[in-house]
A and B are shown apart, each in its own frame.
Chain A
Amino acid sequence: MTLNQYIIEARNLTKVYTMGDQKVHALRGVDLKIEPGEFTAIMGPSGSGKSTLMNLIGALDQPTSGELFIEGQPLSTMIPPALADLRNRTLGFVFQQFNLLPRADALQNVKLPLRYARHEIIDADARARECLQMVDLEERMDHRPAQLSGGQQQRVAIARALAGKPRIILADEPTGALDTKTSEDIMKLLVELNASGITIILVTHEAEVAAFARRQIHFRDGLIESDERSGL
């Protein structure tokens, strides 16, 4: 089996945090393989290591040991600017708290990652509009976050994640700050994006949200407790 078959592969991944003189083992040797186009939900109680894994996959943090491959590339061999470019081109982040710039309107927020794009983006404005159209918000592109509802803000954030044409979207509790109805809309949007070929990894502790994913992985005490694919 070649490496390239998996879009994400973790081998014996560990992460140890030092808090004062106490060592916290967030991950204790995780092996994980995700194929292109999968929609995976990672579940588990808080402190089980699911968010830690997300941060490592997102190249926002480094593992204590083990190796992580994104599209076959071992992250440990990449220098910080290369990791920044990986976040810019390959990955898209969706956060629980949306993390929009409060003084910028929706269009500017969506354009933000394109400012850091080293590859060619012919027209950042057009691309940002296109992404807002995908989340059905193009008529609100001049609204600031404060003028948008929570669900709309999260859709702007998803549009922002899409701007760089990523192959992987990492969504960390994307519905954590939303009500049930809005959560469903956001999840349907993610399912749509997944159907268009984007690999999605979702962290959540809500079973109803995780049910939208075709694969559910449960974490406990820094290890994978269960890994099951639901029927297609």
Chain B
Amino acid sequence: MKLSVAFASAIEALTANVLRSFLTMLGIIIGVASVMIMMAMGAGAKAQIEAQISALGASTLTVRPGATRRGGVSQGAGASTPFTEADMEVIRRLPFVQAIDGQINSGVTAVSGQTNWSTQLIGTNPGYFEVQSLDVIEGRVFTEREARSGAAVAVLGQSVVKELFDGINPLGQRFRVNSVPVTVIGVLEGRGQSSFGQDRDDIVILPLTTARNRIIGAHPTTSKHVSRVEVMVANGYDMAVAQSDLEDFLRERRRIKPGASDNFRVYIIADFIRARSETQQTMGILLAFMAGVALFVGGVGVMNIMLVSVTERTREIGLRMALGARSTDIMAQFLTEALVLCGTGGLIGVALGFAGAWIAAKTGDWSMSLNVQITLMSFGAAAAVGIFFGYFPARRAARLNPIDALRYE
């Protein structure tokens, strides 16, 4: 029997009882739509995480002084010898280092005219902008030379600009950071909130020397210290290898004896986010599993109706056999019916899934990601359900004895 004929007779049989066919399809429709929405949700969450990683720097190593132990008492993170600008200079020369920055941070008050604003000061070197992949939307960042000379120039985050210079062009404006006058030379692009809920635009960035000498205040013992160093690993270097190379280098430089524990830490920030995303992935798998259960239940509905249909049409099957249909023809007929039923349900389900994902993305705070792969997989799942649950009823029809089927009342 030709395929087109098989499809035509399947559609004919299914349209003979439209309501029943639709109700049977409903299970498949809901199953496919939920599979699709769950997969879109999972893909959306994954894309969000990848975006976070790339925002924080997929290739960034963060170096901080670590815990020390004195007399068996842990002194807590950052208690050991801090890193200095001299450390930065030598790390910069390691082969895998693309860029490096060192930072000191402090809470400060920014004042412009009558406006006061509490904000976060970051004192750093120009490498910071490369490591963080930060761009200015207005003006420029400070130069290496300005950084070294301790120029009183500032690059502002957008929140600070909004608070201090609402409505006026901030470039060239002077304002005070803890009573030290500085000039605005650049405004950063907006970055929004961090994944921890922090406003990443509420910052004032000054050259490291300026911040330390004139605002935070240089102390003989803290001179040239930075609270953390960030290293951007050059393309082509494996992050884990770079991490352990840097650890080895720092152990040697800080003269840590073999066997002794490190008094510093080298983190891969991206790893933290990935670890956090695993919880989300587990949740996603659970949801996808439940969507799969919905599809399975839909499939059982298809099998039930197909069995009813085979029973109802036993005489017709007998007649077809008497006219020369082989078992395989009967099998193909009922499998095609199940497939058309599930395929149609799958198409409607895919359309509904698109609509559902779109609505969820619009109204809720969900990030949805739909692609061809998800669509094909959802539709493929429906077709697979059709074949799987259609097989048993079709086989039952094909195995009927012609004369018993023909005489069936």
Chain A residues within CB distance 8 Å of chain B = 55, 58, 60-61, 80-81, 84-85, 87-89, 93, 99, 101, 103-104, 112-113, 115-117, 160, 164
Instruction: Determine if B12 and A103 form an interchain contact, defined as CB atoms under 8 angstroms apart.
Output: yes
| Given A89-B324, A116-B1, A116-B324; A60-B315 close (CB under 8 Å) | no
Complex CA gap A81/B329 in Å reads 10
Complex interface: chain A residues within 8 A of B401 (CB):
61
Complex CA gap A192/B339 in Å reads 45
Instruction: Determine if B324 and A88 form an interchain contact, defined as CB atoms under 8 angstroms apart.
Output: yes
| Given A81-B328, A101-B316, A116-B329; A61-B323 close (CB under 8 Å) | no
Complex interface: chain B residues within 8 A of A117 (CB):
324
Residue of A nearest to B319 (CB): A99
Instruction: Determine if A60 and B323 form an interchain contact, defined as CB atoms under 8 angstroms apart.
Output: no
Instruction: Determine if B403 and A60 form an interchain contact, defined as CB atoms under 8 angstroms apart.
Output: yes
Instruction: Determine if A84 and B321 form an interchain contact, defined as CB atoms under 8 angstroms apart.
Output: yes
Question: What are 8 residue pairs bridging A and B, where the CB atoms are less than 8 Å apart in the complex?
Answer: A80-B327, A81-B326, A84-B325, A103-B16, A113-B323, A115-B5, A116-B325, A116-B329
B378-409 contact mask (Cβ, 8 Å, vs A): 1 or 0: 00000000000000000000000111001000
Number of A-B contacts (CB under 8 A): 59
Residue of B nearest to A59 (CB): B402
- Kindly provide the distance from the CB of B337 to the nearest chain A CB, expressed in whole angstroms: 14
Complex interface: chain B residues within 8 A of A93 (CB):
322-323
Complex interface: chain A residues within 8 A of B324 (CB):
84-85, 87-89, 113, 116-117, 164
Task: Kindly identify which residue among A84, A89, A99, A116 contacts B315, using a CB–CB cutoff of 8 Å.
Answer: A99
Cβ of B228 < 8 Å from any Cβ of A?
no
- Kindly provide the distance from the CB of B20 to the nearest chain A CB, expressed in whole angstroms: 15
Extra 12 A-B pairs, beta carbons < 8 Å, given A93-B322, A164-B324: A60-B321, A60-B322, A60-B402, A60-B406, A61-B403, A85-B326, A93-B323, A99-B319, A113-B324, A115-B5, A115-B329, A116-B329
| Given A61-B402, A61-B403, A116-B1; A88-B323 close (CB under 8 Å) | yes
| Given A99-B315, A99-B319, A116-B320; A80-B403 close (CB under 8 Å) | no
Of residues 313 through 354 on chain B, the ones whose CB sits less than 8 Å from some CB of chain A are: 315-316, 319-329
| Given A99-B315, A101-B316; A116-B403 close (CB under 8 Å) | no
Task: Kindly identify which residue among B323, B329, B403 contacts A160, using a CB–CB cutoff of 8 Å.
Answer: B323
- Kindly provide the distance from the CB of A90 to the nearest chain B CB, expressed in whole angstroms: 10
Complex interface: chain B residues within 8 A of A103 (CB):
12, 16
Residue of A nearest to B328 (CB): A81
- Kindly provide the distance from the CB of B331 to the nearest chain A CB, expressed in whole angstroms: 12
- Kindly provide the distance from the CB of B397 to the nearest chain A CB, expressed in whole angstroms: 14
Q: Which of A93, A101, A115 has the most CB of B within 10 A?
A: A115
Residue of B nearest to A161 (CB): B323
Give chain B's interface residue range (CB within 8 Å of chain A). Answer: 20 to 34
Residue of A nearest to B12 (CB): A103
B-side interface mostly: helix
Residue of A nearest to B322 (CB): A93
Task: Kindly identify which residue among A55, A112, A164 contacts B320, using a CB–CB cutoff of 8 Å.
Answer: A112
Complex interface: chain A residues within 8 A of B323 (CB):
87-88, 93, 112-113, 116, 160
Q: Which of B2, B12, B323 has the most CB of A within 10 A?
A: B323
Complex interface: chain B residues within 8 A of A60 (CB):
321-322, 402-403, 406
Instruction: Determine if B402 and A81 form an interchain contact, defined as CB atoms under 8 angstroms apart.
Output: no
- Kindly provide the distance from the CB of A103 to the nearest chain B CB, expressed in whole angstroms: 6
Complex interface: chain A residues within 8 A of B327 (CB):
80-81, 84
- Kindly provide the distance from the CB of A150 to the nearest chain B CB, expressed in whole angstroms: 18
Instruction: Determine if A58 and B329 form an interchain contact, defined as CB atoms under 8 angstroms apart.
Output: no
- Kindly provide the distance from the CB of B322 to the nearest chain A CB, expressed in whole angstroms: 5
Complex interface: chain B residues within 8 A of A101 (CB):
316, 319
Complex interface: chain B residues within 8 A of A113 (CB):
323-324
Complex CA gap A124/B388 in Å reads 33
- Kindly provide the distance from the CB of A108 to the nearest chain B CB, expressed in whole angstroms: 9
Complex CA gap A104/B320 in Å reads 14
Residue of B nearest to A166 (CB): B324
Of residues 1 through 44 on chain B, the ones whose CB sits less than 8 Å from some CB of chain A are: 1-2, 5, 12, 16
- Kindly provide the distance from the CB of B25 to the nearest chain A CB, expressed in whole angstroms: 20
- Kindly provide the distance from the CB of A120 to the nearest chain B CB, expressed in whole angstroms: 13
Instruction: Determine if A55 and B403 form an interchain contact, defined as CB atoms under 8 angstroms apart.
Output: yes
Complex interface: chain B residues within 8 A of A61 (CB):
401-403
| Given A60-B406, A115-B1; A87-B16 close (CB under 8 Å) | no
- Kindly provide the distance from the CB of A85 to the nearest chain B CB, expressed in whole angstroms: 7
Q: Which 10 A-B pairs have the closest CB atoms?
A: A88-B324, A113-B323, A60-B403, A84-B326, A116-B324, A60-B402, A61-B403, A116-B325, A81-B326, A87-B324
- Kindly provide the distance from the CB of A30 to the nearest chain B CB, expressed in whole angstroms: 17
Complex interface: chain B residues within 8 A of A116 (CB):
1, 320, 323-326, 329
Complex interface: chain B residues within 8 A of A89 (CB):
324
Complex CA gap A99/B320 in Å reads 10
- Kindly provide the distance from the CB of B318 to the nearest chain A CB, expressed in whole angstroms: 8
Complex CA gap A101/B323 in Å reads 12
Residue of B nearest to A52 (CB): B403
Complex interface: chain B residues within 8 A of A99 (CB):
315, 319, 406
- Kindly provide the distance from the CB of B60 to the nearest chain A CB, expressed in whole angstroms: 68
- Kindly provide the distance from the CB of B225 to the nearest chain A CB, expressed in whole angstroms: 88
Complex CA gap A164/B323 in Å reads 9
- Kindly provide the distance from the CB of A189 to the nearest chain B CB, expressed in whole angstroms: 19
- Kindly provide the distance from the CB of B2 to the nearest chain A CB, expressed in whole angstroms: 8
Complex interface: chain B residues within 8 A of A80 (CB):
326-327
Complex interface: chain B residues within 8 A of A115 (CB):
1-2, 5, 325, 329
Of residues 167 through 226 on chain B, the ones whose CB sits less than 8 Å from some CB of chain A are: none
Residue of B nearest to A58 (CB): B322
